[in-house]
Amino acid sequence: MKKLWSKTQGEESDISRLIHEFTAGEDRHWDLRLAEFDIRGSIAHVNMLAKTGLISEEDRRVLLPEMEALLEKVKAGEFSIEEGMEDVHSQVEFLLTEKLGESGKKIHAARSRNDQVLVDMKLYLKSELLAIHQMVQEFATLLLELSEKNKEVLLPGYTHYQVAMPSSFGLWFASWSECLAEDLWNVHAAVKLIDKNPLGSAAGYGSSFPIDREMTTKELGFSDLHWNVVNAQMSRGRSEKAMAVAMSALAFTLGKMSQDMVLYLSQNFAFVRFPDTYTTGSSIMPHKKNPDVFELIRARCNRLINLPNQLSLIQANLSSGYHRDWQLFKEALFPAIDDIKACFQMATEMMKAIEVQDNLTGNELYRYLFTVEAVNQKVLDGFSFREAYREVGMDVEAGKFEWNEALNHTHQGSIGNLRNEEIVRQLREVRDAIGQIQNLESLGPEGPSDILSRSK
């Protein structure tokens, strides 16, 4: 077994191998995701070591091309962590030492695996948060386009699963977009918390080497550094938890929307339709068009909602300083990142193909949607609210209520006055706030487009 911390060269015992297998766990598998960021961290570290005179300029000159070559192998999918290697840090140092000899052995000076892991995780989580942010922005923009396209189509509104009041598809689509705009502030908070450089904190107590931590902060693109080295180490767990909270909030919204879609697709509601290829069938019932995609989005989102609690319990009651418990975060967090991205990808593809049903409120089932409209009209005609409510209620009880689908909702955010441009503003605000932390180029296109013009 190749271990950075090994002090002997002798044959490994059976118990040593068993302990290695238990403690390494799935790190070799998950650490492949961190390879790019580990090498980037090492490049910045080597540049700093050379500047401060801790390694020679000649060492830096031979190390950098080899690390850049490893980075290209990672990007090409040609990098692997060998059997028996403990983690990505061991693999990178082993390859450099194998190729360069003594120069390769110098890259670990003035750092620990603790701050290496912290750097790798922070760079990786930040990259994934920015990718998730972009996916959510695109999905929220699509919802606003659907809102504008279908703003005149009425939709029955429900409370307690009972027919309640008239809504519209314009209102329904836009509601989820604004929810997501609000949820993205959790992403902003996570990026802000994560975007601090821990490199140089070593095992959590700093180093006697004369290192330059501000230099590596700039080279790695962090907005700030963890000034206190103990606090840098304590950011382990807090960073992952912040990301989990952000993903949990997004999952809560997307899962709730998916539940609506499952209901709306059923024959009892039949509010929306999808092409056959977007649904699944039954092995014995030829009429079935099952909403499997939305059911699985719902299930995955429910699992994601629990993620912050899962991470909290792993690190509950840990004292300050490093603990190996944190290693288990990877096997909980990394698949969750895949899940949230897959859910938004599938939800986006599904919504691109959605067809809404027109003339829903003309159905006798929905005649009582308009009782509130009748009450309000009586109030406008001079009745007190309680008297109007009583008269309409008596008509309902007597089976004499007649409904009128004409609506006159004019206040901001209502059926007749969606104000979707304000939701566009909210999406842009959170995008710009994240852009103040990171370069706007890393966030992709210029935020939500002009929804009103694109949807016409």
pLDDT tens digits, residue range 317-368? 889 988 888 889 999 999 999 999 999 999 999 999 999 999 999 898 998 9
pLDDT at 289 (0 to 100):
84
**Other CB atoms within 10 Å distance of the CB of residue 395:** 14
Measured torsion, CA atoms of residues 207, 212, 213, 214, in degrees rounded to the nearest 10: 160
Mean pLDDT, range 68-87, rounded to an integer: 93
pLDDT at 42 (0 to 100):
97
Hunting for tokens 């382990």 — which residue is that?
A: 236
Alpha carbons 65 and 105: distance in angstroms, whole number: 16
Q: 426 and 176 in contact (C-beta within 8 Å)?
A: no
Alpha carbons 156 and 264: distance in angstroms, whole number: 11
pLDDT at 445 (0 to 100):
43
Alpha carbons 305 and 246: distance in angstroms, whole number: 10
pLDDT at 287 (0 to 100):
79
User: What are the distances in angstroms from CA 64 to CA 44, 327, 353?
Assistant: 10, 29, 49
> Using the 8-state DSSP alphabet, how is residue 204 labeled?
T
Spatial CA neighbour of 438 closest among 198, 220, 141: 220
Q: Sketch the domain layout of the chain as residue ranges.
A: 14-109, 122-199+228-361+419-454
Alpha carbons 127 and 113: distance in angstroms, whole number: 21
What are the tens digits of pLDDT across the range 134-154?
Answer: 999 999 999 999 999 999 999
Alpha carbons 88 and 68: distance in angstroms, whole number: 16
Instruction: Quickly list H helices, 76-112.
Output: 88-100, 102-105
Hunting for tokens 């990098």 — which residue is that?
A: 79
Say if strands 224-225 and 196-197 run parallel, antiparallel, or are unpaired: parallel
Q: Give the model's confidence band at 24: pLDDT under 50 very low, under 70 low, under 90 confident, else very high.
A: low
Q: Is residue 456 pLDDT above 70, yes or no? A: no
What CATH class has 14-109? Answer: mainly alpha
Q: Which residue has the higher pLDDT, 333 or 25?
A: 333
Q: Which two tokens stand for residue 115?
A: 């701050």
Q: Give the model's confidence band at 17: pLDDT under 50 very low, under 70 low, under 90 confident, else very high.
A: low
Alpha carbons 264 and 157: distance in angstroms, whole number: 12
* Residue 397 burial by Cβ neighbours in a 10 Å radius (0-12, 13-18, 19+): exposed
Q: Which two tokens stand for residue 56?
A: 């020679």
Q: Is residue 442 pLDDT above 80, yes or no? A: no
* Topology of domain 122-199+228-361+419-454, CATH: Fumarase C; Chain A, domain 2 (1.20.200)
Mean pLDDT, range 109-121, rounded to an integer: 95
Ramachandran angles phi, psi of 168, nearest 5°: -150, 160
Mean pLDDT, range 240-254, rounded to an integer: 98
Contacts of 44 (CB under 8 A, 6+ apart): 199, 215, 216, 219, 220
Q: Which amino acid is at 52?
A: T
Alpha carbons 91 and 73: distance in angstroms, whole number: 13
Mean pLDDT, range 267-271, rounded to an integer: 94
What are the tens digits of pLDDT across the range 215-236?
Answer: 999 999 999 999 999 999 999 9
Q: Is residue 282 pLDDT above 80, yes or no? A: no
pLDDT at 450 (0 to 100):
52
Q: 254 and 297 in contact (C-beta within 8 Å)?
A: yes
* Alpha carbon 346 to chain centroid, angstroms: 14
pLDDT at 245 (0 to 100):
98
Per-chain mean pLDDT for the chain: 91
User: What are the distances in angstroms from CA 245 to CA 145, 311, 337?
Assistant: 28, 10, 12
Contacts of 30 (CB under 8 A, 6+ apart): 330, 331, 334
Q: Is residue 19 pLDDT above 90, yes or no? A: no
Q: Which two tokens stand for residue 142?
A: 């699509």
Task: Supply angle C-alpha 11, 14, 15, rounded to 5.
Answer: 115
